[in-house]
Amino acid sequence: MTTRSNSDDFRTLFLKDIPLLDVRAPVEFNKGAFPCATNIPLLDDEQRHVIGTRYKEQGQDAAIALGWQLATPAIQAQRIADWTRYVQQYPEGYLYCFRGGLRSNLSKKLIAEAGIDYPLITGGYKAMRRFLIDELDANSLALRQPESPLVLIAGRTGSGKTRLIQRIARSFDLEGFANHRGSAFGRQLKPQPAQIDFENTLSIAVLKLRDAHPHSPLFTEDEGHMIGSVTLPLELQATMQQAPLAVLETPLAERIDIALEEYVLSARPEYIQAYGEELGSEKFREQILGNLNRIRKRLGGDRHKALTAIFSAALNEFENTGNADSFRPGIEVLLSNYYDPMYDYQQSRRDGREIFRGNKDEIVAWAQHYTPT
């Protein structure tokens, strides 16, 4: 049996996407995990609760005794079989629980009894999570330095900023991590990640970029402090509030095309695939009209009523004929009369931060060679 040492080299673990076997209970995993982690728990949620109560009331020895009592031979055999399959698939991986203590050591012992050595993460989930929090804070501070700043891609709603970000090599996609397009209409069919999952994914992405390009600017989309239901970490927010801006210029007609493609033409088939034709069409309609209702106060009653009529008719035509052009007038009103005034106000408070302006191809070419002086 080949023996590997336990590890606390968190940087290497995340830079190399080392597979991680998480033996915490599902309820813990769902609150926060790492992109390369797989949850095969030692205890299920109910067992964790019962043993945790015993630990608080009678101490560790009593909790261990209860754990072995609950871990019947059949349960142990199933756990060992599941872990063995994982270890055989990912022999380079590591195992962890919350603090790298009782549960991970028990799991390691059971795996060892099957003839397999699998090392632990020292400090467990808590230590890795602490590393990622501290690392993102440190990298956020480093990205305030004038020689290697964070540059925000700014631009009006629908200008294609996310598409542009994906063309720039030294960039990270906040909306992609958040699974949300950032606007009132940005909610997607797939749920947003838990806040901790969002932060972990973001920290790892920035860690990798800073490791590969330690003295170069990085790029991301200009965002507010929240993207849907997730919140940007405070140090990153502070960096973004003073970051230089590269402004993407996109004609209104093209912005309407982009919005139509992203929010209608690409979105509806996802609902149909998930729910079937009839229910999918109904849920897609609820999504479009529900988004309008969420900004009703800001739109004003008359404008909200008019837009609801436009989008309701457009939905009917799209469902009956497949023609989505009737959405264009409503999209134009939203962009020109709702989103653009908000953007203009925000930009008026950012004097002196713009360092470049151009179309998508011009910004991609500029970003490739941009070196702060």
CA distance readout (Å), 355 to 224, 253, 334, 346? 20, 25, 28, 16
Contact yes or no for 18/36 (Cβ under 8 A): yes
Longest dimension (CA), the chain: 74
The active-site residue, picked from 97, 121, 143, 209, is 97
Three-state DSSP state, 121: strand
The first and second tokens of residue 286, run together, are 């609820």
Between vectors from CA 255 to CA 249 and to CA 258, what angle results, nearest 5°?
125
97 catalytic residue (yes or no): yes
* C-alpha 344: how far from chain center: 28
Contact yes or no for 29/48 (Cβ under 8 A): no
Starting at the edge strand found earlier in the chain, the sheet holding 150-155 runs 218-221, 150-155, 245-248, 354-358
Contact yes or no for 137/235 (Cβ under 8 A): yes
Among candidate residues 370, 353, 281, the one with its CA nearest the CA of residue 318: 281
Task: Give long-range contacts, CB 8 A cutoff, 24+ apart: 54-63.
Answer: 60/102, 63/102
Contact yes or no for 320/359 (Cβ under 8 A): no
* Residues belonging to the active site: 97
